[in-house]
Structure 1
Amino acid sequence: MRRKTLTALAAGASALALSGCSLMQPVDISGFAAEAPDPDATVVRLANVYEPGHPANTCGTATMKEELAQDGIDLKVYPAGQLGGEPEIIEQVATGALDIGISGGSFFGAWYPAAEVVDGAFLFENSREYDRATRSPLLTHLYDDMAEETGLRVFSSWYYGARNITANKPVRSPEDLRGLKIRTPDAALYLETLRALGGTATPMALSEVYLGLQQGAIDAEENPIPTIASNKFEEVQSTVSLTRHMVQGVQLVASEKFMEGLSEDERTAVLEAADSARLANLKCIEDEEREILEQWRAEGTIEIVEDIDSEAFQQGVKENLLPAKEWGDLYLEVQEELAADTPTVVGTDPEDSPVFADEKTEEQS
């Protein structure tokens, strides 16, 4: 069997031009892949914006890479924005210059506005609600409709974390956001959400945030705890306020053309590996959220502010964000589906996975 390359990344020139990068190499984030690649392996390229040390890579893409290797598929991972930001990654997937991209829901809004709903502020209370909702009927059908209309197939959703605000002062209420230049990703929904919460948003690439905070170009930023830690933002900010204003994840996206180009066995392998990676990533992020906060408290690394006026923030979202979004009704339907405890339709539940066996042991003891 001759080597197959399932991407036009020989159109890599165009992809790299988009990102403004010179020739890039995939990063070995898994530890096991030091051996020479199988010359007969099917090559699949995946890109994301997260640092190699972020759980999305150390647990998510690393698990996916290891499982796919067993099925004769060589997953090449390009982390840390090597091939551009999330808009560029989605564009490259759409054009066939990249096989799989990972992006937050807000960035799909330019392609299919209703897909933004998963990044709606205060839509989910915790990681398990996020994981359940993104595998349930409403959002599964949403992604089917998106694929039919755009040719972009979201085939797995991974928990990313609860977003919190770091600054050089506590942020307990919307009033505390006034006058702060707060970095957000460069997607319309983030800017609109920060305005609804009472703040002023400044879009900026994640790779530029540390220097922006250090030099005072921005005053604050908002991210999940593992992202704050992996980018060392606690070194240049004095407080982290646990607003948890967005419990969110990231989506794995491929073009329908790419998926159809895989053999049935390859497609099954990709879907199953992505689901295993979803569970491994969920476990790692939940553990890191807890462990990082424990370490920061023990070492006094950064002031942790927990007395948040969540109702005031939520009121701003209800009054200033949802009425302006075409997916406002879908947002409410997702919450109703969660309240009704609708069975999931795709993927393995965490409770049924050996990845979470230690939780069952703790519950029984």
Structure 2
Amino acid sequence: MNLFNKGIKLTLAAIAVSSFIAGCGGEEAKEAAPAASASQNTAAPAPAAEPIVLKFGYENNPGEPFDEGAKKWQELLNERSKGTMKIELYPSSQLGSKTDIIDSMILGEDVATLADGAFYADRGVADFGIIFGPFLFDSWDEAFKLNNSQWFKDEEKLLNEKGIKIAAANWKYGDRHTLTTKPVRSIEDLHGLKIRVATSEIFSEGMRVLGATPTPMPLGDVYTALQQHTIDGVENPIPVLYNGKFYEVAKYLLLDAHIKNITNIIVGTKFFNKLTPEQQTMLLETCQEAGEYQNSVVDKVEKELLEKMKAEGVEVIEPSEEFKADLKKASLEFYTLPLTKTWTPNLYETVKANCK
């Protein structure tokens, strides 16, 4: 074979080998291509859902037992939900009055506040109003028994129909006493005194039957009203009276305990119903637990603050047995007032039976 023919054969052989290698490489490329494509088309992880945020507004000031309970609820719900449910706190009426907040929750806003039977009566569940009648309970045990009774559960269902959901009914707000600019040592001393009450007919009429002149106004306006002698006094539990600094302008504290106040934490049914069953359970259980914590704070702080008020020059007046009897006797008129005509017949007797 001459060199020319030999060269041609070698060249053809080289081309054949190259084609084979290229063919194999092409198959590898074809096989690798889907993997590369799959990698490029992998979807990015979906962004985490925004947490549910509930705005909790109340008149109480920072540092009060109620505020401490609110912080505990905030902590418990955040922890239990792993950050998917959060509570923002708005003390000192930052979200407006209680009435404003209740209006907002009924319309569907994600807000919460504290409320009670007097406000429920104003919202159309009339029988609930009796809970804030003066001297209805003889002990805290009676008050808690009523809140755990079937009667209370039945009334709660009616409240749901009005757009309000009770998240917890176990927050002890405290005995409501009367702080005044003049000493009150008998029922006659109460007569004519202008006493600030919450903006509810129940509170107004409850104070009126005791002989005072009820003056409804937001709690945030009370200090100035006392200072300017627009009112002669204010009624509330000791922690509220102390933290509002009302003792600076009113120096007489009557320990009448005219209402044993268990408050409720409420949200709108529109807000509650859009939660999943699991979220609803977390909301209710953590609110109940926070209430138990808050109650322990109330019991401890009331004694401490009473001593502080004394140190600030407040005269603490323990009503005599005769004075107590006069107050209880006068309070019975409340349960026969025109506003009670909307109540279920024999409601007073029914409630008293559910307390025992």
- 1:106: which partner in 2? 118
- 2:134: which partner in 1? 121
In 1, Cα distance between equivalents of 2:271 and 2:334: 39
- 1:92: which partner in 2? 104
CA RMSD in angstroms comes to 1.9
Q: For each residue in 1:31-52, what CA deviation from the matched residue of structure 2 results, as whole angstroms up to 9, or x when unmatched?
A: xxxxxxxxx4322222222112
Q: Is the 8 A contact 2:247 2:309 kept in 1?
A: no
Which TM-score applies when normalising by structure 1?
0.77
- 1:66: which partner in 2? 75
- 1:166: which partner in 2? 179
Change (3 A) 1:288 1:128: farther
Q: Paired residue for 1:182, among 195, 205, 223?
A: 195
Q: Paired residue for 2:354, among 327, 337, 351?
A: 337
Q: How far 1:171 sits from its partner (Å)?
A: 1.8
Q: Is the 8 A contact 2:192 2:211 kept in 1?
A: no
- 2:65: which partner in 1? 55
The residue correspondences of 1:1-365 to structure 2 (distance < 5 A) are 40-58=50-68, 60-70=69-79, 71=81, 72=83, 73-111=85-123, 112-147=125-160, 149-157=161-169, 158-297=171-310, 299=311, 301-308=313-320, 309-324=323-338, 325=340, 326-327=342-343, 329-339=346-356
Aligned letter for 2:204? Answer: L
What's the secondary structure of 2:177's corresponding residue? strand
In 1, Cα distance between equivalents of 2:162 and 2:48: 30
In 2, Cα distance between equivalents of 1:136 and 1:274: 19
Q: How far 1:2 sits from its partner (Å)?
A: 5.2
Of stretches 133-142 and 216-225 in structure 1, the one that deviates more from structure 2 is 133-142
Q: For each residue in 1:195-234, what CA deviation from the matched residue of structure 2 results, as whole angstroms up to 9, or x when unmatched?
A: 1111111111100101111111111111111110110111
Q: How far 1:162 sits from its partner (Å)?
A: 1.0
In 2, Cα distance between equivalents of 1:312 and 1:301: 28
Count, aligned residues: 301
What's the secondary structure of 1:202's corresponding residue? strand
Q: Is the 8 A contact 1:165 1:171 kept in 2?
A: no
Aligned letter for 1:118? Answer: I
What's the secondary structure of 2:209's corresponding residue? helix
Q: How far 1:291 sits from its partner (Å)?
A: 1.9
Of stretches 125-134 and 265-274 in structure 1, the one that deviates more from structure 2 is 125-134
Q: Is the 8 A contact 1:153 1:254 kept in 2?
A: yes
In 1, Cα distance between equivalents of 2:102 and 2:139: 27
- 2:19: which partner in 1? none
Q: How far 1:173 sits from its partner (Å)?
A: 2.9
In 2, Cα distance between equivalents of 1:249 and 1:3: 39
In 1, Cα distance between equivalents of 2:71 and 2:144: 20
Q: Is the 8 A contact 1:65 1:74 kept in 2?
A: yes
In 2, Cα distance between equivalents of 1:228 and 1:126: 22
In 2, Cα distance between equivalents of 1:336 and 1:213: 40
Q: Is the 8 A contact 1:196 1:321 kept in 2?
A: no
Q: Is the 8 A contact 2:167 2:288 kept in 1?
A: no
In 2, Cα distance between equivalents of 1:187 and 1:322: 18
In 2, Cα distance between equivalents of 1:321 and 1:2: 58
Aligned letter for 1:250? Answer: T
What's the secondary structure of 1:82's corresponding residue? coil
Q: For each residue in 1:58-83, what CA deviation from the matched residue of structure 2 results, as whole angstroms up to 9, or x when unmatched?
A: 1x211111111111311112221111
What's the secondary structure of 1:80's corresponding residue? coil
Q: Which runs of 5+ in 2 are unaligned?
A: 1-45
In 1, Cα distance between equivalents of 2:308 and 2:191: 30
Q: Is the 8 A contact 2:59 2:98 kept in 1?
A: yes
Q: Is the 8 A contact 1:143 1:154 kept in 2?
A: yes
